[in-house]
Amino acid sequence: MITVIKHAPHEGLGTFESVFRGAGHEIDVVEAWRATADDWTRAREADVLVVMGGAMGVYERERFPFLDQELELLGPRIARDAPTFGVCLGSQLIAEAAGSKVAASGRHEIGWFGLRATGDGRVDPLVNGLDLTRPVFHWHGDTFATPAGGVRLLESDRFPQQGFRLGKRVYGVQFHPEVTAEELPLWIAAEQHLAYGRIDGVQAEHEILEDGKRFGAALTALSEALITRYLKLIS
């Protein structure tokens, strides 16, 4: 069983779902904004936990009190190296639970931009050999230092922190490998307040959609390779 924490209706599993089901896993979805005590217990005890993205910041816990629930359950999972994978906000929550401090960076990376492995990433069992030659999809403005004891694996021109590992089975990535080109209009519609195309690091709406057509298939291939490797790594 793979337990997935969602933070927004439009931010789902994307391409992860077919990989999970193809590998024979059942999926248990916890919707954080309306989760019950039983939901949090399942997430805490999950064999594999995947924490997805969301528009809120880790530091907005007064507005989104469910973030405290997640931080509380992530700390013990990290300590025992329980299989845990975070995407964007999910990676930030893992970092915060591990002692790092997530904060607004004053920069943005929203749209299709490059990604590369660090020196440590090039020898990491999950990242080594992944095809990172094409732009990937990003949607973030917050950042953090690699938690103590962690290994920084991925970086981009705007954000030195794009992915890390804690222990052997806890990983976080800032970019969104799971997104499909078909989902992009939903993302744009959900974030209409953004200054698309008017500030550095934020693509125009039409650029996001056009690049989705250009690079979406490559991102899907990367996503499938990444999550398939992760499942093998933790098995």
How far apart are alpha carbons 18 and 224 in whole angstroms? 9
Q: Say if residues 56 and 64 touch (Cβ distance below 8 Å).
A: yes
Task: Give the pLDDT confidence score for residue 193 in this predicted structure.
Answer: 83
Pick the catalytic residue from 11, 96, 109, 178.
178
Instruction: Judge contact between 97 and 71, C-beta under 8 A.
Output: yes
Number of domains observed in the structure of the chain: 1
Q: What is the CATH number of the domain that holds 31?
A: 3.40.50.880
88 is catalytic: yes
Print the domain residue range for 61: 2-234
Among candidate residues 70, 155, 176, 183, the one labeled active-site is 176
pLDDT at 140: 96
**CA 188, 165, 201, 61: dihedral to nearest 10 degrees?**
60
pLDDT attached to residue 151: 99
pLDDT given at position 92:
99
State both tokens at 33: 């904004």
pLDDT at site 4: 98
- Checking DSSP bridges between strand 116-117 and strand 103-113, what pairing results, if any? unpaired
The residue from 7, 11, 70, 88 that is catalytic is 88
The secondary structure of 123-157 as a DSSP string is GSTTTTT----S-EEEEEEEE-PPPTT-EEEEE-S
Q: Is 62 exposed, middle or buried (0-12, 13-18, 19+ CB in 10 A)?
A: exposed
CA dist 103 and 145 (Å) reads 10
How far apart, in whole angstroms, are the C-alpha atoms of residue 235 and residue 233?
Answer: 6
State which H helix or E strand residue 45 sits in.
Answer: helix 37-45
Tens digits of pLDDT across the chain (235 residues)? 999 999 998 888 999 999 999 999 999 999 999 999 999 999 999 999 999 999 999 999 999 999 999 999 999 999 999 999 999 999 999 999 999 999 999 899 999 999 999 999 999 999 999 999 999 999 999 999 999 999 999 999 999 999 999 999 999 999 999 999 999 999 999 888 888 889 899 999 999 999 999 999 999 999 999 999 999 999 9
**What is the structure's pLDDT at 77?**
98
